[in-house]
Amino acid sequence: MTDLQGKTIVITGASSGIGAATAKALAARGANIVLAARDQDGLDQLAADIRQTGGTAVAKATDVTDREQVQALADFAVATYGTIDVLFNNAGLMLFSFWKDRALDDWNRMLDVNIRGYLNAIHAVLPVMLERNSGHILNMASVAGHQIGDGAGVYSATKFFVQAITESMRKELGVREGIKASSISPGVIDTGWADKVNDPTGKQAAQELNQVAISPQSVADAIVYALDQPANVTINDLVISPTRQNW
């Protein structure tokens, strides 16, 4: 028996990488998992894999940049399991480019997913948690929110934002409402992110950085640790870095 047994956990960006690894790890500890991402087929396969190994999971295709879709996700979680105990705000984009490249489309995509997506999810789950004076919001941050690497100015800015809102929620919601807020700040993780970079110069920088990447499972283990704590304990911010770094 763990503190995760029977808890309902909503995971955005769940169809692959850190989200998928975390979903499996939390389901193995008895949590009810609500999987969200844009890839319905990927979500359905992951949910089936979790159920096949004895876990509990449902899936709903969700674009976190769409406020109505995120609200529908929260409503779906409550309708299925009765409540939401944990939000793992995980959907994100890391698109490298240099300022001289003026990669405005990539910058705006990161703002939409990494900032508006997080706010949409928080907005959707907070009423459920406030009504119960209980809950946990875990935001995926990054070492890029602590230090800025080459070609990562806008990405780092979005992760500084995540650090700021997490600290604000921790002070306000934790003290007054009994709702935990914490963050995980990984270094470079091998999730296929480097292949999504469109800018040629940024792609080269991303591929070089990815050479020292650690596995999604390592991050999932840290997330389980942060969430599997007694009600009176909050793990504020875990920084997880490769032993060898070229950041």
Residue 26's closest CA among 220, 243, 242? Answer: 220
How many residues are there in the chain? 247
Spell out a b/e string for 22-53, using b for 16 or more CB atoms within 10 Å of the CB, else e. Answer: bbbbbbebbbbbbbbbbeeebbeebbeebeee
Secondary structure percentages of the chain, helix, strand, coil, to 5: 50, 15, 30
Is 155 a catalytic site residue? Answer: yes
Q: How far apart are CA 46 and CA 51, in angstroms?
A: 9
Q: Is 88 helix (H, G, I), strand (E, B) or coil?
A: strand
Strands (E), the chain: 8-12, 32-37, 56-61, 86-89, 135-140, 179-186, 237-240
- Active-site choice (81, 118, 155, 225): 155
Is residue 216 within 8 A of residue 191, CB to CB? The reply is: yes
Q: Walk across the sheet containing 179-186 and list its strands.
A: 56-61, 32-37, 8-12, 86-89, 135-140, 179-186, 237-240
Q: How far apart are CA 95 and CA 119, in angstroms?
A: 20
Q: How far apart are CA 21 and CA 33, in angstroms?
A: 12
Catalytic positions, written as ranges? 155
